[in-house]
Copies of this chain bind each other. A is one copy, B any other.
Amino acid sequence: MTDVRPVPAASVATWDHEADVVVAGYGVAGAAAAVEAAGAGADVLVLERAGAWGGAAALAGGFIYMGGGTGLQKACGFDDSAENMAAFLDAAMGPGADRERIADYAEGSVAHFEWLVACGVPFKPEFFGEPGWEPLGDQGLMYSGGEDAYPFNTVAKPAPRGHVPQMQNKKQGQASAGFMLMKPLVQRATDLGVRALYDVRVQSLVVESDGRVVGITARQYGTDITVRARRGVVLGTGSFAFNESMMARFTPRIAGRPISAVEQHDGHGIRMAQALGADLAHTDATEVAFVVDPQQLVRGILVNARGQRYVAEDTYPGRAGQHTLYYQDDTAFLILDEQAQEEALASQTPKLILRKPKWVCETVAELEAEMGLPTGSLQDTVARYNEGAARGEDPVLHKKARWLRPIGSPVGALDLRHATGGFPLGGLRTTLHAQVLHVSGEPIPGLYAAGRCTAGLAAWGYASGISLGDGSFYGRRAGRSAARA
């Protein structure tokens, strides 16, 4: 394990590199920070551990959570406001979500969208309205957090806020619209004179005796290097998804099952700052991925080990996964009849992605017995569901009428036990200006952070696009704050 202890500035004899603002990590937070710092006139150097820019962002589906009436929302015919967006996020980001941050983020969202467009990020003004984890084509807008599902559709006016950069020649099942976010941002940074060093693994923060962060040490090709930051250091080093010890201590329920993270996400950036007394927040919170296609999910009923329904099947599938992992001991079964399975197969979803039922029977009673569920439990659940569905209602979980149809025969069940994974959402506690907070409550001078090495908008809840969203939004803040310092 590399040491994370701070290095006294007095012990640094020579600086191998120097810049006004030094950014650790060339993912979405680092790229946004670099563009803004350079735009504010700072000389910027980015240190990236991998051999190329991109981070987890470049491999991501590419949702950026924005709203409040962006140009794309308007072009697709949706009304939204900052207040409406904040009302949704307050409800959906979970107990402990930071309302002040949510209000700040919603308030700045339209301008953030315009900034991305000005940086050259392309968005096609077309809405994708089918169930799915992301658009199947190159559509630019989609519901990505269950905004139109219960209970959120009773809290705020539904508006889609998942903004997806447009990919040329996208192939079915290919998920890297995030590349089309990163490419223009890095191009823009380069145009502004931002320099980057690759294969550089940051080690420790360099600190003056008064506590100010003035540089960073790193290893490059086996050699120790020192990098001076005249104005500030920005951490954009990602989460601790690949740090086994931290995952076991903070997010045991997804330990060993990191999803949508890259190996560089080993928590080192977080620990370097903790070694200076930096505070943490929401360390327990995780995003949850659920390995099932929404085309099946919306057409079935999701039950637990007691044969009970527990979440509206047409909500954000990550939320269904979260309820399964946290509230149902990672045990779920999706009950769907032959017609539902055929409809899902007839959708545009790639056939390979759709799961096959593990059990298929003529009657629900037989299915319940084969699955080993308590006698009568599934029969009761299906009978009540069918009773409501026949009149277009779901009194228990309020699934939308569009997806209500009595379950017929033959009937099958997908085995969704241990079909979850995810990445941690907790990390460094920061101000709205992306200053890293010490446990004393004061900012650590010269140290800024954004992206998944920080606690962002989400606490217990999540929506797709929140990480690229708060990473880019507060990455920009970090770059501006550091350039001004």
Contact = CB atoms under 8 A, between A and B. Distances in A.
Interface of A: 1, 3-5, 94-96, 245, 248-250, 252-253, 255, 271, 274-277, 279-285, 306, 308-310, 326-328, 374-377, 380, 384, 387, 395-397, 429, 438-441, 455, 459-460
A279 B284 contact: no
B283 A250 contact: yes
12 contacts: A1-B440, A5-B440, A94-B252, A96-B249, A96-B255, A249-B429, A249-B455, A274-B274, A274-B279, A306-B310, A326-B326, A374-B384
A185 to B, nearest CB: 30
A402 B472 CA distance: 59
A380 B383 CA distance: 10
Contacts of A326: 326-327
B4 A275 contact: no
Contacts of A253: 95-96
Contacts of A460: 252
* Chief secondary structure at chain A's binding surface: loop
Nearest to A376: B384
B306 A309 contact: yes
Cβ-closest 3 pairs across A and B: A284-B284, A96-B252, A249-B281
A277 B5 contact: yes
A275 B1 contact: no
B250 A284 contact: yes
A150 to B, nearest CB: 13
Contact of A271 (B94, B309, B380, B439): B439
Given A249-B429, A374-B395, 16 more contacts: A4-B439, A5-B440, A96-B253, A245-B441, A249-B282, A249-B455, A250-B282, A250-B283, A271-B440, A275-B277, A275-B439, A280-B280, A283-B283, A326-B326, A376-B384, A376-B387
Given A440-B5, A455-B249, A276 B274 contact: no
A438 B245 CA distance: 13
Contact of A396 (B306, B310, B429): B306
Nearest to A277: B275
Contacts of A281: 249-250
A186 B270 CA distance: 41
